[in-house]
């Protein structure tokens, strides 16, 4: 690995902390500062500074960014409990269903309106890219504001897991229609759902029957850092299995944290027990900002034509509306509907994955998602990513002032 990569990573980490500090001093979540720093670094070429050209696409940067968001969702899982997640499961399911169906319908309509000559498969694909929620940014904002115990947080996290499974099914259906002109067969859909359900059930069984004994054994070992290694190893293991099952790796990371939510460990030679979050927290504080800076760096402000900009604006509007209405799925309880809707808005890397799949499919010898449409989708993803932190922070503060004791 060349020295330039080390220097780029150093600049990204230090700039992230500087941007986060400025955001906090402005009474905003630090993730907003990290995103803004990324946008600045990624567009320095407009000022004739080319130091960071292509930095976001470097393999080490991409890997560390993905590792950062995986560890972040692991930490979020550690701060949740299975009991709490079960309590909000019906509400989370309804929120997820609305949050998938509404954006697909709205996205299809916008595509049909602005791209009337495009094939039906493109309209479906654009709708599908609006369906996927990326919970990493929302989770970071809620964590920054000490709102992890809020009912809204539990609903959002539960909905995000269900959303990922539904998104996988939608992607399979749309990709099959685009490539073969037909729906995938019942066996294919059953396999997708079975893999997702099998993974989640297996993760819960692992947490209930295997991990307590593993941590009891590990706590007797004298090697420094063994408990952190076991915890992170489990996180990466489930992230990998999740990816193999067709789900996003962050779902596996969240599940890993969830099954270890009540694990308190006493390292060898220590008198007091430590919560796993105390061990993992400092690592996440360094790694997670790389993901948010890289996300910001992928926003390219120069060389965008008028048509992609207009399409991006229209897609962003319906992307926001489509997720806001998902908050209507909240029934009873104390969870704030608007907070849940705002928390479901970011599309992040999941939307980009959908767009890349569409770009790889050919229709009449051309990519199904051409360069201009792809640029519009990327801009929509970035806009929903950037707009959420300040809006969510403002709303959750209002809710916490009105309901300070709700948890």
- As a whole number of angstroms, the distance between CA 382 and CA 219 comes to 43
- As a whole number of angstroms, the distance between CA 273 and CA 264 comes to 6
Least Cα distance to 162 among 237, 233, 100, 118 occurs for 100
Place of tokens 């900002």: 289
Least Cα distance to 295 among 352, 356, 361 occurs for 352
| pLDDT (0 to 100) of residue 268 | 45
The ranges assigned to domains in the chain are 3-402
| pLDDT (0 to 100) of residue 352 | 67
Q: Is 264 helix (H, G, I), strand (E, B) or coil?
A: strand
| pLDDT (0 to 100) of residue 136 | 75
Give per-residue burial for 303-330: e unless 16+ CB within 10 Å, then b.
Answer: eeeeebeebbebbbebbbebbbbbbebb
Q: Is 247 helix (H, G, I), strand (E, B) or coil?
A: coil
Least Cα distance to 396 among 92, 17, 28, 94 occurs for 28
Note the CATH number of domain 3-402: 1.20.1530.20
pLDDT in 10s for each residue of the chain, 407 residues: 788 899 999 999 999 999 989 988 887 778 878 888 988 998 898 888 988 888 888 999 999 998 998 898 888 778 766 776 677 778 888 999 999 999 999 999 999 999 998 888 889 889 988 987 877 778 878 888 888 888 888 888 888 878 877 876 777 677 777 766 666 677 777 777 777 778 878 887 887 788 878 877 877 777 777 878 888 998 999 999 888 877 778 778 888 888 886 555 555 445 444 567 777 888 989 998 998 888 788 777 776 778 888 999 999 999 999 999 999 998 877 788 999 999 999 886 667 667 767 777 777 677 778 778 888 887 888 788 888 888 998 998 898 888 776 65
Residues 196 and 245: beta-carbon distance below 8 Å: yes
> How many CB atoms sit inside 10 A of residue 407's CB?
13
| pLDDT (0 to 100) of residue 60 | 93
| pLDDT (0 to 100) of residue 261 | 65
| pLDDT (0 to 100) of residue 265 | 52
Q: What are phi and psi of 264, to 5 degrees?
A: -115, 135
Least Cα distance to 52 among 96, 15, 82 occurs for 15
Q: Which tokens is 323 given?
A: 């997720």
Alpha carbon distances (Å) from 260 to 132, 263, 287? 27, 5, 21
- As a whole number of angstroms, the distance between CA 395 and CA 294 comes to 26
- Fill in the DSSP letter of residue 181: S
- As a whole number of angstroms, the distance between CA 374 and CA 80 comes to 36
Q: How wide is the angle at C-alpha 307 spanned by C-alphas 305 and 311, nearest 5°?
A: 120
| pLDDT (0 to 100) of residue 273 | 47
Which residues fall within 8 angstroms of residue 134, CB to CB, at 6 or more apart?
346, 347, 348, 349, 350, 351, 385
- As a whole number of angstroms, the distance between CA 104 and CA 97 comes to 11
Q: Which tokens is 264 given?
A: 């308190």
Place of tokens 């859909």: 189
Give this prediction's pTM: 0.72
């Amino acid at each position: 690995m060349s020295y330039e990569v080390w220097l780029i990573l150093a600049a990204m980490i230090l700039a992230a902390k500087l941007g986060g500090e400025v955001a906090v001093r402005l009474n905003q979540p630090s993730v907003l500062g990290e995103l803004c720093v990324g946008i600045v670094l990624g567009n320095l070429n407009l000022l004739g500074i080319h130091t960071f050209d292509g930095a976001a696409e470097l393999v080490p940067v991409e890997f560390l960014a993905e590792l950062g968001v995986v560890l972040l969702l692991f930490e979020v899982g550690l701060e949740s409990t299975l009991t709490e997640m079960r309590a909000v499961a019906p509400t989370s399911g309804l929120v997820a269903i609305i949050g998938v169906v509404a954006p697909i319908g709205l996205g299809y309509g916008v595509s049909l309106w602005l791209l009337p000559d495009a094939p039906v498969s493109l309209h479906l694909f654009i709708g599908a890219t609006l369906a996927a929620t990326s919970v990493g940014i929302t989770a970071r904002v809620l964590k920054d504001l000490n709102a992890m115990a809020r009912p809204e947080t539990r609903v959002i996290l539960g909905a995000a897991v269900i959303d990922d499974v539904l998104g996988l099914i939608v992607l399979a259906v749309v990709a099959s229609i685009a490539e073969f002109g037909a729906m995938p067969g019942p066996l294919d859909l059953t396999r997708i759902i079975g893999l997702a359900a099998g993974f989640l059930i297996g993760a819960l069984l692992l947490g209930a029957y295997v991990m307590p004994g593993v941590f009891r054994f590990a706590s007797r070992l004298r090697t420094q850092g063994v408990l952190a290694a076991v915890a992170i190893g489990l996180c990466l293991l489930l992230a990998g299995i999740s990816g193999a099952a067709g789900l996003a790796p962050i779902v596996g990371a969240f599940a890993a944290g969830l099954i270890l939510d009540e694990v308190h460990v006493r390292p060898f030679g220590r008198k007091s027990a430590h919560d796993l979050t105390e061990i993992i927290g400092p690592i996440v504080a360094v790694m997670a900002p790389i993901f948010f800076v890289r996300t910001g760096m992928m926003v390219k402000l120069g060389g965008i034509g008028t048509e992609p900009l207009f399409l991006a604006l229209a897609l962003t509007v319906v992307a926001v509306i489509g997720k806001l209405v998902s908050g209507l799925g909240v029934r009873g309880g104390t969870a704030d509907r608007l907070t849940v809707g705002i928390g479901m808005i970011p599309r992040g890397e999941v939307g980009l994955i959908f767009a890349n799949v569409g770009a790889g499919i050919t229709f009449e010898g051309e990519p199904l998602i051409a360069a201009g449409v792809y640029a519009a989708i990327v801009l929509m993803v970035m806009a929903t990513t950037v707009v959420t932190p300040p809006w969510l922070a403002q709303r959750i503060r209002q809710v916490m002032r009105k309901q300070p004791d709700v948890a």
